[in-house]
Amino acid sequence: MIIPVQWSDEGVKMLDQRLLPTEEKWLTLKTYAEVADGIRDMVVRGAPAIGVSAAYGIALGVKQFVGTNIDDLEDELDYICEVTGKTRPTAVNLFWAIDRMKRTFAKAKADGKSIGEIKQIMITDAKAIHEEDIESQRLIAQFGGELIENDSTVLTHCNAGALATGGVWGTALGVIRGAVNQGKNVSVIADETRPYLQGARLTAWELLQDDIPVTLITDNMSGHMMKKGRVQAVVVGSDRIAANGDVANKIGTYMVAVLAKRHGIPFYVAAPLSTVDMNCPTGDEIPIEERDIREITHVKDIQLAPEGIEVNNYAFDVTPNELVDAIITEKGVARKPYSESLRKMFEE
Ligand code: MRU
């Protein structure tokens, strides 16, 4: 059972995903700033895992406040959240967790809680965010598993597994684990997912540990695999889903969605409601992260591209809602029109 980030009295423990699959190294991060660096530098990555890590970082920062004035603590909290919020722009779970922790603080302050009590309340709520995330994945696995046919091969892009969440199931990999748990025979095709290789390094690693058959391909092979009839469904995760159902996910997801449509293959997105941004009308409003070009020009210290070459390194893209056949959440399976089905899930 993989749980990539954990709270401890010494600090926030984080599995260094940059070193996987060849090395399993745990870091103990002692301050909120170290946790923020861990998010920015992708020690931990994946939208729900980023949210859980941010909540733990904020709780750690509040725990380490040494003052006696609650207004000073509130100022410190605002600064901690500002630093945490500047780490990565696309995964909305980051901002969802920051808002949740700020609301928890505001309520505790309004209830007249002491600084000592507030410190404990923040830790408790960060842990609750973690537990709720794992529970949401279990439900996603259940609802999503039912959509997967027996004896089918599922293609997935990036890593939307236990490593990318609070742990245990994952979202897209949760759907696959759910289908297997329902007794279905399922194989997986994993896109390597250049440039950071989350598919080759992380998805392959997770599925091998679970003895779920997995075949690794380069990203540019997915069309050929679909044309050969090797793919019966596509399941991916998401970093932010707009109110109309447009889906932001790892760069290359849009390409896979277009190919799936071309070949009549169902394209499913699995994500908790904490990844649905009802304040974001369409995918056009989703901020797309651009990362260091060295992620493309080099693999570790090996230079691939000539010095001085112009490079774009968009980390995410947006798949328009018309290419998405279902959005699988902890509240069930949402279908088009998503502006209605997603809104209903928040009202339930
Ligand atoms: O850059 P990353 O590795 O954080 O990107 C992760 C993804 O795109 C995942 O598919 C998404 O966050 C969903 S994780 C359950």
d(CA 227, CA 218): 15
Nearest CA to ligand 1 atom 15: 160
Q: Which amino acid, residue 179?
A: A
| Interval between CA 249 and ligand 1 midpoint (Å) | 6
pLDDT of residue 243: 98
pLDDT one-digit tens code per residue, 305-329: 999 999 999 999 999 999 999 999 9
Residue 316 backbone phi and psi in degrees, to 5? -140, 160
pLDDT of residue 265: 98
| Interval between CA 169 and ligand 1 midpoint (Å) | 14
Residues whose CB falls within 8 Å of the CB of residue 348, separated by 6 or more in sequence, listed in order: 331
d(CA 46, CA 181): 23
Burial class from Cβ neighbours inside 10 Å (0-12, 13-18, 19+) for residue 116 reads exposed
**Catalytic residue status for 239:** yes
pLDDT of residue 100: 98
Mean pLDDT of 203-229: 98
- Residue 334's CB is within 10 A of a number of other CB atoms, namely 24
> DSSP alpha helices (H): ranges in the chain?
32-40, 47-63, 70-85, 92-110, 115-145, 172-181, 198, 204-209, 222-227, 253-262, 294-297, 338-347
| For ligand 1, mutation pick of 250, 253, 290 (most atoms within 8 Å of CB) | 250
Residues with CB under 6 A from ligand 1: 45-48, 91, 158, 160, 164-165, 171, 198, 237-239, 249-250, 315
Mean pLDDT of the chain: 98
Mean pLDDT of 243-262: 98
Ligand 1 nearest atom to the CA of residue 172, by list position: 15
Ligand 1 nearest atom to the CA of residue 271, by list position: 15
Burial class from Cβ neighbours inside 10 Å (0-12, 13-18, 19+) for residue 21 reads middle
Cα-based distances in Å from 272 to 27, 88, 93, 109, 152? 27, 19, 9, 29, 24
d(CA 219, CA 234): 13
Is the entire prediction scored with pTM above 0.75?
Answer: yes
Percentage above 90 pLDDT, the chain: 99
pLDDT of residue 126: 98
pLDDT of residue 34: 98
Instruction: Kindly name the residue from 125, 133, 191, 239 that is annotated as catalytic.
Output: 239
Q: How confident is the model at residue 345 (pLDDT cuts 50, 70, 90)?
A: very high
CB 295 within 8 A of CB 255: no
| Interval between CA 297 and ligand 1 midpoint (Å) | 21
| For ligand 1, mutation pick of 249, 292, 330 (most atoms within 8 Å of CB) | 249
Ligand 1 nearest atom to the CA of residue 316, by list position: 8
Nearest CA to ligand 1 atom 8: 250
pLDDT of residue 1: 87
Residue in this structure with the two tokens 């695999």, named with its chain if needed: 225
The two most distant CA atoms of the chain are separated, in Å, by 67
| For ligand 1, mutation pick of 137, 155, 159, 251 (most atoms within 8 Å of CB) | 159
pLDDT one-digit tens code per residue, 281-292: 999 999 999 999
| Interval between CA 124 and ligand 1 midpoint (Å) | 26
Round to the nearest angstrom and report the end-to-end CA distance of the chain.
31
pLDDT one-digit tens code per residue, 179-198: 999 999 999 999 999 999 99
pLDDT of residue 89: 98
| Interval between CA 260 and ligand 1 midpoint (Å) | 20
Q: Is the pLDDT of residue 135 over 90?
A: yes
Residues whose CB falls within 8 Å of the CB of residue 139, separated by 6 or more in sequence, listed in order: 329, 330, 331
Percentage above 70 pLDDT, the chain: 100
